[in-house]
Amino acid sequence: MAKENKISMEHGAGGQQMQSLIGEIILKNFTNTSAGSVGLDALDDGATIELDRDFLNNNKKAELVMTTDSHVVKPIFFPGGDIGKVAVCGAINDLAVMGARPLAVSSGMIIPEGFSITDLEKVVHSMNDALVEIGVPLITGDTKTVEGTALDSIIINIAAIGICDAPVRDCGLQIGDKMIVSGYIADHGMALLTKREGFEFNSDLESDTAPLWKMIEPLLAVQTQAGERAVTAMKDPTRGGVADSLNEMAQKSNVGIRIYEEKLPIREAVFTSCEMLGLDPLEIANEGKAVIGVRPECAKAVLKLLKSHPYGKDAAIIGEVTEEKPGKVILISELGSTRYVDVPTGDPIPRVC
């Protein structure tokens, strides 16, 4: 194995080479591989998850939340991350915005013949770093190889499972809620685009890819005076960006959303790049942000908690939920004019996740 630099078809054929790939490149690079009595190290047909008895005993209701996501990022390495980091963070963040504490993840990799084993090891390291940061184990997985002509790069699927007492839905917005975004938007998509296309302007752009559970967890404990959870709805604005997330939340909740251009957190470098390329920052993908609906009397408390975490330090209240125009999102410009923020009709930057 040590003498080889590229993936071959034999690495997915189930024999000695596959065992070496799994043992020497994948298994050895993951720190936490068990959530129960059977973990990844066992290389069994599956894995077990031991449920938290204290959590079950202390809550009237407990639900498991499961998500899965496949990743085809191009290029696989980009400023601020790589496909491995995006894969893990994407699945973890799907759980987080539903209010679910991550318990474990699985990984499925499809690797083309000729893929660099050195690059594979870098990707695996990034996956592990993200999992270690939030204390979540990778407990099972699968690896397949295909002919080099079948794929242009690696594909990674992550399935993640979490637990919550009551899920946060994206359809729970209420009239009067404040809308919060947890930081600068469009960083990921623009960092990826400038790297992919070789643009020389704003080369300091970096992806915002990050696992958000530890930022989101404290928000779930904030309650209104009536004892209700202050957070009414959440979504992670990946493909389609903030525009897509806001529209989906408005439509599912049957409410209107009003946002203010001057309150949108957009880096100058991102704004300039979008202006030059004719792109709307609201439609560009993020991989480390959350869009959050909060009861108005609790908005400042939630914002303060967000700003106390490194991933939320640039969080901002960007608007509110209204009775007007149910299912629609209205943007108020800095000059006072209004326009609809429509659902993106296409993908301005493909293969961002």
Q: What is the pLDDT of residue 115?
A: 96
Does residue 345 belong to any structural domain of this protein? no
Tell whether 184 and 104 lie within a shared domain.
no
Q: What is the pLDDT of residue 9?
A: 80
Tell whether 328 and 189 lie within a shared domain.
yes
Does residue 121 belong to any structural domain of this protein? yes
CATH number of the domain residue 196 falls in: 3.90.650.10
Q: What is the pLDDT of residue 61?
A: 81
Does residue 173 belong to any structural domain of this protein? no
Q: What is the pLDDT of residue 200?
A: 67
- Number of structural domains in the chain: 2
Q: What is the pLDDT of residue 129?
A: 98
- pTM more than 0.85: yes
Does residue 330 belong to any structural domain of this protein? yes
Main-chain dihedrals φ then ψ at residue 326, nearest 5 degrees: -55, 135
Q: What is the pLDDT of residue 60?
A: 74
Tell whether 186 and 333 lie within a shared domain.
yes
Residue at a domain's end among 109, 130, 164: 164
For residue 329, the cross-strand partners are 257
Tell whether 160 and 299 lie within a shared domain.
no
Tell whether 15 and 144 lie within a shared domain.
yes
**96 within 8 A of 213, measured Cβ to Cβ:** yes
Tell whether 19 and 125 lie within a shared domain.
yes
**161 within 8 A of 104, measured Cβ to Cβ:** yes
Q: What is the pLDDT of residue 262?
A: 98
Range of the domain at 290: 178-340
Give the end-to-end CA distance of the chain in Å, rounded to a whole number.
30
Reduced to 3 DSSP states, what percent helix, strand and coil does the chain have, rounded to the nearest 5? 35, 25, 40
Does residue 350 belong to any structural domain of this protein? no
For residue 291, the cross-strand partners are 181, 235
Q: What is the pLDDT of residue 330?
A: 98
Does residue 307 belong to any structural domain of this protein? yes
DSSP three-state, residue 291:
strand
Compute the distance between CA of residue 176 and CA of residue 211 in angstroms, rounded to an integer: 29
Q: What is the pLDDT of residue 90?
A: 97
CATH number of the domain residue 47 falls in: 3.30.1330.10
Instruction: For residue 343, give the H/E element and its range.
Output: none
Angle among Cα 91, 95, 99 to the nearest 5 degrees reads 160
| Ranges in the chain, pLDDT < 50 | 1-3
Tell whether 264 and 212 lie within a shared domain.
yes
Residue at a domain's end among 164, 187, 208: 164
Q: What is the pLDDT of residue 139?
A: 97
Tell whether 115 and 243 lie within a shared domain.
no
Tell whether 300 and 151 lie within a shared domain.
no
Tell whether 156 and 200 lie within a shared domain.
no
- Tell me which DSSP letter residue 264 carries: -
Instruction: For residue 144, give the H/E element and its range.
Output: strand 138-146
In 3D, which of 246, 207, 181 has the Cα closest to residue 89? 207
Q: Per the structure block, which two tokens stand in for 19?
A: 């065992």
Q: Per the structure block, which two tokens stand in for 335?
A: 């000059």
Q: What is the pLDDT of residue 1?
A: 46
DSSP labels, 45-71: S---B---HHHHHH-S--EEEEEEEEE
Does residue 170 belong to any structural domain of this protein? no
Compute the distance between CA of residue 327 and CA of residue 311 in angstroms, rounded to an integer: 29
Tell whether 193 and 154 lie within a shared domain.
no
Q: Tens of pLDDT along 321-352?
A: 999 999 999 999 999 999 999 998 877 788 88
Tell whether 185 and 145 lie within a shared domain.
no
Residue at a domain's end among 129, 164, 199: 164
User: Quick one: CA dihedral 77, 81, 84, 86, positive or negative?
Assistant: negative
